[in-house]
Structure formats: C-alpha cells, structure tokens
Structure 1
Amino acid sequence: MICDLHCHTTLSDGSLGIEDVIAQAKRMNIDWLSITDHDTMASFSRADVLGERAGVKILHGVELSAWDKARNSKVHILCYAPSKPNRLEGLCLKSCEIRKECSKEMIEKVMENFPITQESILKRTTASKSIFKQHIMRALIDYGYALEFYGDLDRELFNPKNGSCYVEREYPDVNFVIDLIHTAKGVAVMAHPAQYDNIELLEELARNGKIDGVEVGHFSADKKCRSELSAIAKKYGLIETGGSDFHGLYNKVPTHLGSEVTTKENLDRILKLAASMK
C-alpha cells in the first residue's frame, strides 16, 4: 500500500490543481493521498469526489502555520481527519491574513528594485487562499530576473535571516494550534522538524503528551535525522508519517508524489485515533 500524506495544490503554494494532483496519484498507484494545503481546507469536498472517481482514497488534511514562542521560530503542524473542521476555519483565516500581509510588504519591497507589476504576481494566485513567495519568484522568472525558484536571487531577497525583501510575523502559538486541532477532533503531526529546526520542540511536545505524531519521511531529513526522529517517536509512542511535500513547479528539490510514504501501520494508527475522537 502506497500512502503519501503530504502534498500541495494551487489552493496554497502548489502549481497543479486538485484534479491534476489526484490524476497523478492514480498514475503513481498511490492508494491513499492527503492534500495538505497551507491553512486551508478548501480541498476537502472536491478531493473526495475526484478521489472516489479515480480510485484514490483521500485522507483529509491541512498544514497549519504555528509559532514556537520559546525559540522564536516557525513550526508547521499537519492536521489529519478532523471530524469537526469548522472549528479550524477561524485559525486558517487568521494565518492566511498574516501571510498575505507579509507577502504584500515583500511585493512592495521587490517592486522598488525590479520593474514588475503587482498584477504579474497576483495573476499566479487566483486559485490560492493566500500569496506565497513562490508567486513573487514566478513573476521575477517570467520577466527574466532569475532562471530558478531557489537560486541566488531567492536567497538574496527571501533568506529568512538576511533577505533584503523578507518579511515574517508570528503565527498563532503552537500549543494553541495543537489544542485547536484536538478540539476539531483531528490528529496532530509535526511536519518536517528538520526544516525549521523543531526537534527540541518536538521532544518537549511529546514529553507533555501534546503531539500525536511526527513526519519522519521528508526530503529535509537525512538518514541521521530520521533515526533521531524515529527514536523520539518510539520513546513517546508517536505516529510516524511520511509524504512527498509535492509542490509541482514550486518544489524546493526534485520530489514527486509517492517519493516519501507513510506505512499502512501508521496510516491505520491515524485512522484509529481519529475514529476514537469522534
């Protein structure tokens, strides 16, 4: 059984729509797919219909933005199978607004240095619930200022530490986000801890019984990191997931649907835990 529990569409910062993503999952013989767009659950009903038509089982998912206040760093939490998703709508709207505010400031900074228009950026966001850095880079590529999304210009403009046009604000506190996921009767899994250096936070949350699982299978984690994450998962009885984090044209590294997977055992644990919360 092939289970890819992390991918994105044009509803957030992916380049392919729900239809294309599910069609590709079918071609890849993926049995279970979770579309986990950032801070939006708009895929749920459409994915159910298209998944059933294609013979791909859909696990409802959303990747929620959060903030580790103790370490002043970003953290992403995957929420799976919330039976009361309406309880997450306010959080999603708030996080999308935070991202839009940051992106609009970044767009203004970019336009001060490059003769591109706001329209050239926004036309790439028509399906998205927010505005992402990738949409800005797409416009810069369209007009010949770069050849790639994650090259020298991206680092110059959008490096989180010293990018000349980078803007970031705090998202809702991670503990609040996890509590809200559980209020929505969903399963809370920390996404790619290596990407934002969240391993210390992961162990803290696990020790306090706050988090349900951790994404071990992700391109950002090397062999040593995966071993460390698995050890933490085993120590605290966490579910171990994996997913491609597919974004299509906007991928950070070459990655395709099904390139990272969740085992059937761990999928069953998610389904069982979600069912027990109803």
Structure 2
Amino acid sequence: MAADLHCHTKLSDGSVAIDELVILAKNKGIPTIAVTDHDTFAGATRAKIFGQRHGVEVIHGAEISTFDYQRKRLVHLLCYMCEHPARLEGLFGKILANRRKAVSIALQKVMRLYPITPEMVAKRAQGSTAIYKQHIMQTLVDAGYADKMYGPLYDKLFNWKIGIAKTNIEYPDVFEVLEQIHDAGGVAVLAHPAVYDTYALLPELAEKGLDGVEVYYPRARQDDLEVLGAIAEAYDLVITGGTDFHGGSTSSVHPIGTCLTLDEQLLKLKKRKAALLQKQGAV
C-alpha cells in the first residue's frame, strides 16, 4: 500500500471538493492521502473526519508558496502534520493577501480585453481561499472566449514568459518558511524540484533541516528520479511521491494515485515529526 501526498481541492485551485477527493482515493484503493491546498489548512478537520468515515487516512498539509531570492526561483514547500497550525496562519494570511492584490491587477488586464466581471470570476472561485488564474480561465470558457482552459488564450494571458496578464506575487523567503514550519511542529518537503528548477537549492535546504523531497511526481523524468534519489540518499531525506492532483484544473490531467509515497517512506516522515516534537519538548 502507498500514499498520495500531494492533492488539491476547491479550497485552492483544484476542481474537486474534499469529500469528492476522499471518495476518489477510496475507489482507487489508496489508503492514505494528503490534502495540500495552497497556503491554507482550511478544511483539514473536515477532511480527516470524512476520511475516517470512509476508511481513508487523510494527512493534513499545505503547499506553501515561497521564493529563493538568491537564485530568483519560486519554491513550493509541502508542510505536513503541523502540530500547531495556528502558528502558520499569519504567514498564510500575508501570502494570500499578496495573491489577491496580484490577481486583482491581472483581472483588470483581462477585463480590458474580454467583458467579464469580477462577480463572474468570484462565482467560479466560490469556496476557494483566493482567486487563481484557473478561475479566470474557467470564466472565460463559460463566456465563450475559449473552448478549454489550457490553450492559446491561456498562453496569451498567463504564459509565465509572455502572458499579458501575468503578474508577480511577493512571496516569503524559503529559508524563513522552512524555519516557521519546524517551529509550528510540522515537517517540510520540497515539492516537484524540476518544475521550478530548484535542484541547486536542495542541498542548502537539506543542510538547514529539510525533511524530504518529492521525487515521484508526474513531470519527473527518469534522469530527475536518479538525481533526486542520489541527493535524498546523501542527505538522508525522506523520498515522497505525489500526483499534484488538481482534478481537471491542470493542463495535463493525472488521476489521483498516479505518483505515490511508499509505506516505509511515509513511516520515516512520521518518525521525523515525532523526533521534531521530542526535540521541542512537546512529548
């Protein structure tokens, strides 16, 4: 048995509700999942309770948006099993506030070209902690300006190099966030290193106490697996796997359970959490 430790719901930029996610996992025979919505623990209690009802272990987590200011790279840290989640709420609040400012600017740019309204986008984002570009694209599809979320219009507006509505979001320093995760009694895993090319950062994070690295994810190539596996072994990092599941809200749809964490690695991650608490005098 194994665990999918990277799943998103409607609370951020996913397309399925928490209960739907749990049922999907149950139907696929996946005994353990982690809900890792962007910059929020919202829904953690409900997810755990719903999982218990259906025989699925739900690990509460979050995918935290950070930045490596030395290398000018966006970095996503997966936080799991946070003992004191309230200690990260201030961090999440700042990130989401910055995201809302940036999305407001992006939406203004889009509305100059296409007559949609903020209310239309807000309706699409109902239940989410913030508006994401996926919600804007869904609104444009609803209005008939595109026939699918990802295609020429998405590239025109949001391509990370040339998108005319692309806006930069101010994110916290990755090393500061790593420290905050540990101070809150959580464990930290570097998400999908190849996506934002964070390989050079990984050894430095490991030296600062990073607990693990996401080795198995849909966009990882064979050479990625070999390089990451070697780094994980050298620094005694937990090797995790996760689908980065978003439902239909990604350019390439991957079913839940596409990439998994082995049982022995999940146990190792839980032991890291226990050791952290013991060090902090919590147990």
| TM tier, smaller | over 0.9
What secondary structure does 1:162 align onto?
coil
Residue matched to 1:110: 110
Residue matched to 1:235: 234
Gaps of 5+ in 2: 278-283
Q: 1:84, CA displacement in angstroms? A: 1.0
Whole-Å Cα distance in 1 between the matches of residues 171 and 22 of structure 2?
30
Residue matched to 2:56: 56
Residue matched to 2:131: 131
Q: Is the 8 A contact 2:95 2:170 kept in 1?
A: no
What secondary structure does 2:65 align onto?
strand
Residue matched to 2:258: 259
Whole-Å Cα distance in 2 between the matches of residues 98 and 87 of structure 1?
19
Question: Given the alignment of the two structures, is residue 172 of structure 1 paired with residue 165 of structure 2, yes or no?
Answer: no
| Count of aligned positions | 277
Question: Given the alignment of the two structures, is residue 79 of structure 1 paired with residue 79 of structure 2, yes or no?
Answer: yes
Q: 1:106, CA displacement in angstroms? A: 0.5
Structure 1 counterpart of 2:273, which letter? Answer: A
Query: Normalising by the residue count of structure 2, what TM-score does the alignment of the two structures yield?
Result: 0.96
Question: Given the alignment of the two structures, is residue 187 of structure 1 paired with residue 194 of structure 2, yes or no?
Answer: no
Q: 1:277, CA displacement in angstroms? A: 2.0
Q: How does 1:148-227 map to 2 (within 5 A)?
A: 148-206=148-206, 208-227=207-226
What secondary structure does 2:200 align onto?
helix
* Pairwise CA RMSD: 1.0
Q: 1:252, CA displacement in angstroms? A: 2.6
Structure 1 counterpart of 2:130, which letter? Answer: S
Whole-Å Cα distance in 1 between the matches of residues 219 and 133 of structure 2?
19
Deviations 1:173-218 (A, max 9, x none): 0001000000011110000111111111112212x23311110111
What secondary structure does 2:204 align onto?
helix
Q: Is the 8 A contact 1:4 1:262 kept in 2?
A: yes
Query: Normalising by the residue count of structure 1, what TM-score does the alignment of the two structures yield?
Result: 0.97
Q: Is the 8 A contact 2:247 2:253 kept in 1?
A: no
Residue matched to 1:120: 120
Structure 2 counterpart of 1:63, which letter? Answer: E
What secondary structure does 1:205 align onto?
helix
Q: Is the 8 A contact 1:22 1:56 kept in 2?
A: yes
Q: 1:226, CA displacement in angstroms? A: 1.5
Whole-Å Cα distance in 2 between the matches of residues 100 and 4 of structure 1?
29
Gaps of 5+ in 1: none
Question: Given the alignment of the two structures, is residue 24 of structure 1 paired with residue 38 of structure 2, yes or no?
Answer: no
Residue matched to 1:141: 141
Deviations 1:85-139 (A, max 9, x none): 1111111111111111111111000000011111111101120011101000001
Whole-Å Cα distance in 1 between the matches of residues 106 and 208 of structure 2?
38
Bigger Cα displacement from structure 2, 60-69 vs 154-163: 154-163
Residue matched to 1:15: 15
What secondary structure does 1:60 align onto?
strand
Q: 1:275, CA displacement in angstroms? A: 1.6
What secondary structure does 1:59 align onto?
strand
Whole-Å Cα distance in 1 between the matches of residues 229 and 64 of structure 2?
22
Structure 2 counterpart of 1:225, which letter? Answer: D
Question: Given the alignment of the two structures, is residue 245 of structure 1 paired with residue 244 of structure 2, yes or no?
Answer: yes
Structure 1 counterpart of 2:137, which letter? Answer: M
Whole-Å Cα distance in 1 between the matches of residues 209 and 266 of structure 2?
19
What secondary structure does 1:199 align onto?
coil
Residue matched to 1:269: 268
Q: Is the 8 A contact 1:2 1:29 kept in 2?
A: no
Question: Given the alignment of the two structures, is residue 3 of structure 1 paired with residue 12 of structure 2, yes or no?
Answer: no
Q: Which runs of 4+ in 1 moved over 4 A?
A: none
What secondary structure does 1:249 align onto?
coil
What secondary structure does 2:53 align onto?
helix
Q: Is the 8 A contact 1:66 1:171 kept in 2?
A: yes
Whole-Å Cα distance in 1 between the matches of residues 205 and 275 of structure 2?
21
Whole-Å Cα distance in 2 between the matches of residues 16 and 118 of structure 1?
22
What secondary structure does 1:232 align onto?
helix
Whole-Å Cα distance in 2 between the matches of residues 205 and 117 of structure 1?
42
Whole-Å Cα distance in 2 between the matches of residues 43 and 225 of structure 1?
33
Identity of aligned residues (%): 45
